[in-house]
Structure 1
Amino acid sequence: MSRPIGGRQVSATAPGKDEADGRWVTRYPVWSMAIGALSVSGSAVLLDLARTSPGTASFYRCALALPALLALAAAERRRVGAFPRHRYGLAVSAGALFAGDMLLWTQAIGEVGAGLSTVLVNVQVVMVPLLARAVDREPVPRRFLWWLPVLLVGAVCTSGVLEQGGTVGADPLRGTVHAVLAAVCYSGFLYLLRRGGHTGQVRQVYTAVVASAAVVSLAAGLLWYGFDPAPGWRALGWLLAVAACSQVVGWLLVATASPRLASHVGAVLLLLTPVGAVVLGAVVLGERPTPLQLAGCGLILVSAYAMGRGGTSDDGQGGSRRRR
């Protein structure tokens, strides 16, 4: 069985590989993606509680996740075999972009707030479908283009740069720049992660992504973003929590589900991440977004919802293609 991707025929994941990835995850990709996004949403708050440098946080959240991921990858390899060596390049590139996203985003947390930095970085809802259109020729729903200006206005309002004293971070302008740059890395990472899962062996690919991200984060931390080899037990405890809920559970679910959903559907579901982060930021950290910032969050979510609903009717195939 095969499914169309931008004019090409890509073989559907074989039953054995579906079993290796988990039957429930592969049968219900929408729910898997939603649960993965919500699992990732807690990382902003946990990183704020860890209070470490971006380089330290990015390295340890990957390194602490590797033992569990290596065990999962080894089990998958015994069942379905090793993934081809030529795919390592894709995994390494995805890992480098993931590291760039983490470093820039962690830097933005203190500058524009935990919840809002996550909202800003999720302009991926624009970039990922455009990448899929440009590279894979995946149709973009018309409503996507209609709602794009509203979505961008929402991102600007959410940043807090339009009002005096209306931000919850220390430097909203720098935070906005760092979050937008993180969004570029994030979008590239999501696109490559989705592509890497099209032929199965997702756990092995994702483990290589996280290993690559750890190496890049360590190098960037030593050169620019700061790295503390011994951040203390308290910080390590919070970073272990990030590794467990985000790297091991959240992103692995996203990596497994994303190839089975259309690009705009997966991008919309990932907007559950900023929603969860804003709620947790208010409850746990005492952040109080202003009305304009909340309105920006609303514009982002309404736009994304409208684009998601319009996608399948415009392209005519979105409902049948089991892709992210």
Structure 2
Amino acid sequence: MGVGALCLSASAMFLKLAATTPATATAARCLLALPVVIVLAIPEWRRGRALSRRGLLSAVCCGVLFAGDMLLWTQAIPEVGVGLSTVLVNTQVAVVPLLSWLVDREKVSLRFLLALPALLVGVALAGGVLEHGISGSNPALGTAHAIGAALCYSGFLYLLRRGGQAGQPMQTYAVLLATSAAVAVAVGPWWHGLDLWPGWRALGWLMLVAVTGQLLGWLFVAFFSARVPSTVSSALLLLTPVGAVVLGAAVLGERPSALQLGGCALVLSAGYFASARRSETPARRHTPERDRVSQSGTN
């Protein structure tokens, strides 16, 4: 599972190296991964586990939100940096419980309420609201885009957990990827452009994004997340934002300020504190496939 989290962290670096538009990157990473996912979904379908109409509609809605997440996050990467953009997207650990509380009236834990102020302070520090001349082309706008991505990602996770169907994770993922690609193609001409042929260099980096983010990372995390305790899985998934910060500094020469790094640490610590000891309900224990998709539908 740790390998999967590190694969996911590398995708942000590859996206920056691809140096293409958000819509181009989003459409490419989905379409490049889709044939492999379809092949993996065929055994589910042959076992007579085709998606129901409700499951198909849920997957399409999730795909729209996942596209919003990828488009906004890709735009945030050059604006606030590879590492910090990935950290900021992980604020979804606070948004998903809030959605469950607002819509389903699920009880919010005391740990979550205690962690929320620290999480918000960490976001402000990581976004550089108190500084000038820090890393990234536009840290304030990049923070806004990353938070928008986190909101889309939170809605995606919420819908997937609420409407997903056990036993059909690969079919759900295939529909999700196809929908996300279609949304990116539709939005691209109106938002930063869509390049139908970004060139071999960009295509090579985008292929690595598809392999690390949409295939290896997702499959590793999906397979192992149900096989380790929740505290262990929460800690291992923190390798994704931490790995992105390290790769951004080591490979791309990003140099976040001390306050930004402090904010990054605060976001990660608060997120772990809020979610690490969340107990599983019997219903979730009986539907591991749904959990695997919902926990690993990451960037």
Partner of 1:179: 146
Q: Does residue 1:58 correspond to 2:16, yes or no?
A: no
Partner of 1:311: 278
Task: Summarize the alignment of residues 207-226 of structure 1 with structure 2, pairs less than 5 Å apart.
Answer: 207-226=174-193
Partner of 2:194: 227
Change (3 A) 1:321 1:97: closer
Distance 1:109 1:151 in 2: 20
The CA RMSD over aligned residues, in Å, is 2.7
Q: Counterpart of 2:128 in structure 1: which amino acid?
A: G
Partner of 2:213: 246
One of 277, 283, 286 as aligned partner of 2:250: 283
Given that 1:36 and 1:250 are in contact with CA atoms closer than 8 Å, whether structure 2 keeps it comes out as: yes
Task: Summarize the alignment of residues 1-324 of structure 1 with structure 2, pairs less than 5 Å apart.
Answer: 31=1, 34-166=2-134, 168-254=135-221, 270-312=237-279, 321-322=284-285, 323=291
Given that 2:20 and 2:202 are in contact with CA atoms closer than 8 Å, whether structure 1 keeps it comes out as: yes
Paired-residue identity, %: 56
Q: Counterpart of 1:293 in structure 2: which amino acid?
A: Q
Given that 2:59 and 2:164 are in contact with CA atoms closer than 8 Å, whether structure 1 keeps it comes out as: no
Distance 2:75 2:216 in 1: 23
Deviation at residue 269 of structure 1 after TM alignment: 5.7
Distance 2:96 2:226 in 1: 13
Q: Deviations over 1:270-319 (max 9, x none)?
A: 4432111111111111111111111111111221232234534xxxx569
Distance 1:119 1:213 in 2: 22
Distance 2:192 2:159 in 1: 25
Given that 2:30 and 2:177 are in contact with CA atoms closer than 8 Å, whether structure 1 keeps it comes out as: yes
Q: Counterpart of 1:217 in structure 2: which amino acid?
A: A
User: How many correspondences in the alignment?
Assistant: 287
Q: Counterpart of 2:77 in structure 1: which amino acid?
A: I
Q: Counterpart of 2:206 in structure 1: which amino acid?
A: L
Q: Counterpart of 1:57 in structure 2: which amino acid?
A: A
Partner of 2:288: none
3-state DSSP class of the match of 1:285? coil
Given that 2:230 and 2:276 are in contact with CA atoms closer than 8 Å, whether structure 1 keeps it comes out as: no
Q: Counterpart of 2:125 in structure 1: which amino acid?
A: C
Judge which range, 211-220 or 286-295, deviates more: 286-295
Distance 2:6 2:164 in 1: 21
Deviation at residue 101 of structure 1 after TM alignment: 0.9
Unaligned 5+ residue runs, structure 1? Answer: 1-30
Judge which range, 207-216 or 135-144, deviates more: 135-144
Change (3 A) 1:159 1:268: farther
Q: Counterpart of 2:47 in structure 1: which amino acid?
A: R
Given that 1:128 and 1:190 are in contact with CA atoms closer than 8 Å, whether structure 2 keeps it comes out as: yes
Q: Name the TM-score, length of structure 1 as normaliser.
A: 0.80
Unaligned 5+ residue runs, structure 2? Answer: 286-290
Deviation at residue 147 of structure 1 after TM alignment: 1.3
Q: Counterpart of 2:51 in structure 1: which amino acid?
A: F
Deviation at residue 259 of structure 1 after TM alignment: 8.4
Q: Name the TM-score, length of structure 2 as normaliser.
A: 0.86
Given that 2:94 and 2:271 are in contact with CA atoms closer than 8 Å, whether structure 1 keeps it comes out as: no
Distance 1:41 1:196 in 2: 27
Q: Counterpart of 1:114 in structure 2: which amino acid?
A: V
Distance 1:308 1:260 in 2: 17
Distance 2:231 2:124 in 1: 21
3-state DSSP class of the match of 2:108? coil
Change (3 A) 1:263 1:148: farther
Deviation at residue 149 of structure 1 after TM alignment: 0.1
Q: Counterpart of 2:140 in structure 1: which amino acid?
A: L
Given that 2:76 and 2:142 are in contact with CA atoms closer than 8 Å, whether structure 1 keeps it comes out as: yes
